[in-house]
Structure formats: structure tokens, C-alpha cells
A and B are shown apart, each in its own frame.
Chain A
Amino acid sequence: MCELNKQKEFEELALPYMDSFYSSALRMTRNEAEAEDLLQDAYLRAYRFFDKFQKGTNFRAWLFKIIRNVYINKYRKDAKVPQMMDVSDAEAIGSLSDTDTPENIIFDKLLDDDLTKALDALPDDFKMTLIMSDLEGFSYKEISEILDCPIGTVMSRLHRGRKILRHILIDYAKNMGYIKG
């Protein structure tokens, strides 16, 4: 394939996803300049290996997998540092029986910044899985292929990730006085 056609074909497939992938990149790096660099590096890498992409298979998942790999190799900081949060502690959450306020109303009062902070406090694998499911709308099968893990692991990360998030958000709500402590 001549270089010009290759670029045209690649751009037609890849550029429409840029807005959605930019949001994910921003969530991963937490920094606009790094999110731009991450996308640029990942698109360049994908372009170089475009010949290896099997036509007719899932291009969006293939491209996202490259973004995630470049993020892990190049942009993720304190990658192997153990997470401060004890996951099992956080999962043992108390009930909200002391309040009659429905949780959707409580959570809606919290700011997006609170949500971002709560997401960033999650172990990286949990956060990544939530981004793929709730922001990108990937199916469990797609996520398991991107992460190279069994579907059961995807389910367990989503389940536990949401439980921990709930715990953190309730803490925020208590601190803000939306719920009695």
C-alpha cells in the first residue's frame, strides 16, 4: 500500500475516536499536555503497526489497547508502588441505614472533582477498567481482550471498583455534611 493511501485509510479509521480517547487519556495521565503526548505516541505506534491490524476485527479496541500499553510503559508514574488503600477494608462498607436520602441524590450533590479524586484513589487496574466500561462503553469481552485477562477478572474489578468508589464518595458526602457521620 502506498504511504499516502495507508495514512488516509488509517486516519479515516482512527481520527473519529480521538475525542473519546482523549477523555480516557486525560483520565489516565491527569494532565492535558501528557494526554496529548500519549495520544500522539499511541497513534504513531498504531500507524507503524497498522499492517499488523487484521482487517474486519475490532479496530477501536485494538487502538485503545495500544494507548493503554503506551500509557503503562511511558506515562504511568509510581507504577509498581503498592496502592495506599487497603482494598478489602474499603469493601467492608457500612450501610446507609442512618439516612433516608437516596444515594443518587447524595452523589449528585458531589462535584465532578470529587469523583475524579475518588477515581484516582482507586488501584490503577480498577480505574482503567471503569474508564473502559463507563466512559468508552467497551463490552466485558472487549475489555478482557484489551487487558489480556479473563472476563471474570473484568467483572470482579468493576464490582470491587464500584464498591470502593461508593465507600469513598460516601466519606466525601459525610465530610460535606450531606449525610450524618
Chain B
Amino acid sequence: MDCEKVCEQICSYLDNEMDEQSKKTFEEHIATCEKCSYELNTCSCIKSRVQKGLKSIKAPNFLKQKISLVLQNAHNYRDSGIPTLDLIKWGTHVAQLYNNKSDLPEVLIPYILKGLEENEKCLWVTSDISVSEAQKAIIDFSPDTEKYLNNGQLEILFYKDWYLAKGQFNAKNVIDSAFNKYQDAISNGYSGLRAIGTTQWLNMDDWNILLDLEALLDKSISNEKILLICTYQQDKCGEKKIADIMNHHKYVLFKSNGLWELKKSCMG
């Protein structure tokens, strides 16, 4: 047995992963080779130091009760379809900050597809991309989606037909329409409403109206079977507006180094 091979096997020996025959051959070599014996000793010191340093730390007492309680309410959690966001409770209000309109489908399509799979009514209100572009994007991603567009489980609307359907943009009109949609969804046997809102079309002078709407939405959906993602174009929002967004949503999704990351707001 040569020394190089023995060195490669040191971990297996220390971790008790060797069969009896290999162990015997290994030990015979170690007994006669000073260099390999030294390597074994060093590796063994590291392993025992790591084991000693990584000693088990007891979980805080409240954690078991807390998790037990969460499990009791498991039916209130939905799969967001977005790995970074994972499972979220009904009533969760999320903001997505994006730079290019190509960022939108990365988050919104898996979110919608998961909702359709979980028997939720899905409503996507768009302004950055047209309704037909949104439909094409989602069908290209999952051809099966066409049937949901046809049977009405998935509805894609242009912002004018949603935010301005009753004339002027105001918070109350939007909330009323949203709750009508929600009631319809429940009476049609869906498990809830999964929605996407858009803000890109708004004149930033309307920021305060938008904040009124976000505050009202946040309050009114919190105990309902509704999930909502509001999309914000990041370069239209300065620091102050980003802080406002943080204050009105439980989570904010943003892109960093090409990956979607999550910030939990202080409301979370």
C-alpha cells in the first residue's frame, strides 16, 4: 500500500467508514510508516477538536412549543412557489423590487403556477408588460396554463381595467374590487385568492394615494385567504420610498448578485 493511498483513506478510518479488511491493511501500514502515522495523528486531532468545538447547544425551551403551534396552523400556510420566500401565511403582503421588466416573470410565474396547482384563484394585474405578453410568458413556461386562462382560474388584467375601472384611482375602489374578486373565488370553490398588483404606471406624485391603498390592503387582507405581491420598479423609488415600501409589506424581495433575496420588514 503506498503512502498517497493511505493518506486518502485517513478520514474513512477516523470516521469508522472502513471495512475490516481495509482497516487491517491500513493499520499495518501506519504501524510501519512514520509519515503516515503523523498524518493520521494530525487529522485525528483536528477531528476531535472540531467535535469538541461543535458541541451540541440545546434549543431554547420555547422553540418546541412555538413550532408545535405553527404545525397546528399548518393549513394557513401556502407554498409561495418562490424558493426564497418558501411558505407564507394567508394574509401575507409582499413587495417585489425589480430593475428590468424581465425580472418580473422570474418571481411572478412560479408564484402563479404554484397558486394554480393549489386550487387558488389567481389574479395578475400588469402594467410593465401587456396582458398578451404576460399570457405568452406563462404559457411558454408551462403550456398547461392555457386551460386555467380559459376556465377563469387565472385572470390577467391590464392596470387600467383594474385600478381605473371605476374612474379615478382611489384606495377604496381598489379594495372593493379586490374583495369582490375574493368572495367570488371562495364561492366558486377556490381555496383563496393569490394576487399580483403593479405600481409602475403610477405617477410618483400619487405616492400618497398608493401608500393609503397599501396600508388599507395590509390591514384588510391580514385575516383573509389572500396572498398579494406588489411590484415596484426600483429605480423609480429613492431611499425614502423604499423605506415606505418596507413599512407597508411584510417581506420585500430584491435582486442581489443575480439572485432573489428576502428582507423581512419590521412588521414581520
Which chain A residues border B83 with CB–CB below 8 Å?
Answer: 73-74
Count of A-B contacts judged by CB separation below 8 Å: 138
Complex Cα spacing A26 to B63, Å: 13
Q: Chain A's interface: helix, strand, loop or mixed, by majority?
A: helix
Which chain B residues border A175 with CB–CB below 8 Å?
Answer: none
Is B70 in contact with chain A by the CB < 8 A criterion? yes
Pairwise interchain contact A165-B66, C-beta atoms closer than 8 A: no
Which chain A residues border B56 with CB–CB below 8 Å?
Answer: 19-20, 23, 135
Q: What distance in Å separates the Cβ of A132 from its nearest Cβ neighbour in chain B? A: 11
Complex Cα spacing A53 to B154, Å: 32
Is B51 in contact with chain A by the CB < 8 A criterion? yes
Pairwise interchain contact A80-B71, C-beta atoms closer than 8 A: no
Complex Cα spacing A133 to B85, Å: 29
Q: What distance in Å separates the Cβ of A113 from its nearest Cβ neighbour in chain B? A: 9
Complex Cα spacing A6 to B156, Å: 38
Known: A104-B49, A166-B43. 17 other contacts (CB 8 A): A7-B74, A18-B59, A22-B59, A39-B67, A41-B86, A44-B70, A45-B87, A48-B77, A73-B86, A96-B42, A110-B49, A131-B54, A140-B17, A155-B11, A162-B11, A166-B46, A169-B49
28 sample A-B contacts, Cβ–Cβ < 8 Å, listed by A number: A7-B71, A7-B72, A11-B68, A11-B71, A15-B67, A15-B68, A18-B67, A19-B59, A20-B56, A22-B59, A23-B54, A40-B63, A40-B66, A40-B67, A43-B67, A45-B86, A48-B79, A73-B83, A103-B41, A103-B46, A104-B49, A107-B45, A107-B46, A110-B49, A134-B47, A155-B8, A165-B50, A166-B46
